[in-house]
Amino acid sequence: MQNWRRNKFAFSVLFLPPAAWLVIFFTLPLAIVWVYSFGARGPLGEIILDWSAVSLGNYARSLEWINLEIVAKSIWIAVVATAICIGLGFPLAMGIAFASPRYRNILLLLVILPFWTNLLIRTYAWIAVLRERGHVNFALEWLHDTINGGLAVLGLPALLGAFEPLQLLYNQNAVIIGIVYVNLPFMVLPLYATLEKLDRSYLEASLDLGAGQWRTLFSVTVPLSLPGISTGVLLTFILALGSFLTPDLLGGPDSIMIGNLIAQQFGSARDWPFGAALSFLLMYATFIILWVKAMVAKREGGSAF
């Protein structure tokens, strides 16, 4: 087979447009933001970039206790959301991978389907589901009234008392529900890709040799799908860590995450240099995680993804 690298002309024709796109719309703007991160905020929110103002002050400021607290909380929320995504995503991916080929594509489509609707609209839909006079509470109220009504028919006193709606919205749990919902497909898809390619004869061998279903799951299936798990965990965690819209719309008075803090710097605080520094710290953290993953994968002899 001819190596594609040898055909320099075809290669450059194909390579140039995406490379130019990447440089103009990604690398250059990012470089500008990177330069900003060493600047200072003027009294009216202008960006001061002369040599005497250039400093690491913004980075030092991002290490202030209050900002570290927000980072720690964001990491915690991302960890919890990622864990829930695994718990939900693994059985889901297994179900799809082991379903008959007829249904497999339909099931996959159902996982991807939410992407066809704008995130903002999907998040507002969660408000309608979770709020006090939302669908969950309506269902609970109906159940509650039915039970009380049934007791009344039997001549018994209403045991459950008056219905108190659950406070499901505007708190940390709502944020986690929202983040899990948004990111679940990013967990399911890599898991599915791994599980689908899994050699079924290993599972059969395990069952034939006397291991139960659970033992087979945890000793054979899970270890064999580790590459998919780690990719899914990484994707979900990184995306969850940068969440901004979800805590904004579903969160309570203490749901600020690092993404919101950054957004505020570019908005009301008008402190683009500090916002730029925070963004780059988040990005460095992401790179470190990716690097660790690549190192681990290398040592195990697999590919990074």
Partner 1 sequence: MMNRIKAGRVTRRDFLVGAAAAGVAIGAHSRIARSAEEKKLNVYNWDTYIGETTLSTFTGSTGIEVQYDFYANNDELFAKLKAGNPGYDVIIPSDSYVADMISLDMLMAIDHGKIPNLKHIDSDPNFSNPPFNPGLKYGVPYLWGTIGIGYRKSKVENPDSWGLLLDSDKYSGRIALMADARSVMGLALKYLGFSMNSQNQAELDKARDLLIKQKVHIKTFAEDNGQDLLLSGECDIVMEWNGDIIHAAEEDDDVGYVVPKEGTQVWIDNVCIPVGAPHPENALLFLNHLLDPQVNAEIANTIKYATPNKAARELVSPEDLANPAIYPTPEVVARSESLVSVGEFTPAYDKAWTEVQAA
Give the whole-angstrom CA distance, residue 79 versus residue 239.
11
Sole window of 217-225, 261-269, 281-289, 297-305 interacting with partner 1 (rule: CB under 8 A): 261-269
- Asked if 264 is part of the footprint of partner 1 (rule: CB under 8 A), the reply reads yes
Q: State the nearest-atom distance from the C-beta of 175 to partner 1, in Å.
A: 11
Q: Does 125 bind partner 1 (CB under 8 A)?
A: no
Phi, psi values for residue 40, rounded to 5°: -135, 160
CB of 269 to partner 1, least distance (A): 4
**Part in contact with partner 1 (CB under 8 A); list of ranges 75-83, 147-155, 218-226, 247-255:** 247-255
CB-facing half-sphere around the CA of 148: CA atoms within 13 A: 12
Q: Which of residues 175-214 bind partner 1 (CB under 8 A)?
A: none
141 binds partner 1 (CB under 8 A): no
Which residue is associated with the tokens 């039915």? Answer: 146
Whole-angstrom distance, CA of residue 171 vs CA of residue 177 = 10
91 is a site residue for partner 1 (CB under 8 A): no
| Residue tagged 């209403």 (tokens) | 158
Q: Please select the residue that binds partner 1; options are 253, 299, 301, 303, rule is CB under 8 A.
A: 253
Helices (H), 255-302: 258-266, 272-299
Instruction: Figure out which of the listed residues 30, 34, 67, 104 binds partner 1, where binding follows CB under 8 A.
Output: 67
48 binds partner 1 (CB under 8 A): yes
CB of 251 to partner 1, least distance (A): 7
Please list, in sequence order, all residues whose beta carbon lies within 8 angstroms of the beta carbon of residue 187, skipping any fewer than 6 positions away. Answer: 82, 85, 86, 88, 89, 93, 232, 233, 235, 236
Using CB under 8 A as the binding rule, whether residue 133 contacts partner 1 is answered as yes
For 87-101, letters b (16+ CB in 10 Å) and e give: eebbebbbebbeeee
What x-and-dash track marks residues 151-170 binding partner 1 by CB under 8 A?
Answer: ----------------x-xx
The span from the CA of 7 to the CA of 4, in Å, is 6
> Closest Cα to residue 187, out of 139, 242, 238, 256?
238
Number of residues in the chain: 305
How many chain residues bind partner 1 (CB under 8 A)?
43
Candidate list 104, 123, 132, 224; residue touching partner 1; CB under 8 A: 132
Q: How far is CA 274 from CA 38, 50, 229, 242, 243, in A?
A: 8, 16, 35, 17, 19
Candidate residues 239, 272, 279, 281; the one interacting with partner 1 per rule CB under 8 A: 272
For 198, residues 6+ apart whose C-beta sits below 8 A from its C-beta are 97, 221, 224, 225
Nearer to partner 1, 92 or 130 (CB): 130
Q: Nearest approach, Cβ of 133 to partner 1 (angstroms)?
A: 5
Could you say whether residue 17 binds partner 1 (CB under 8 A)?
A: no
User: Which residues sit at the interface with partner 1, rule CB under 8 A?
Assistant: 24, 28-29, 32, 41-50, 66-67, 69-70, 73, 131-133, 167, 169-170, 248-249, 251-254, 256, 260-261, 264-272
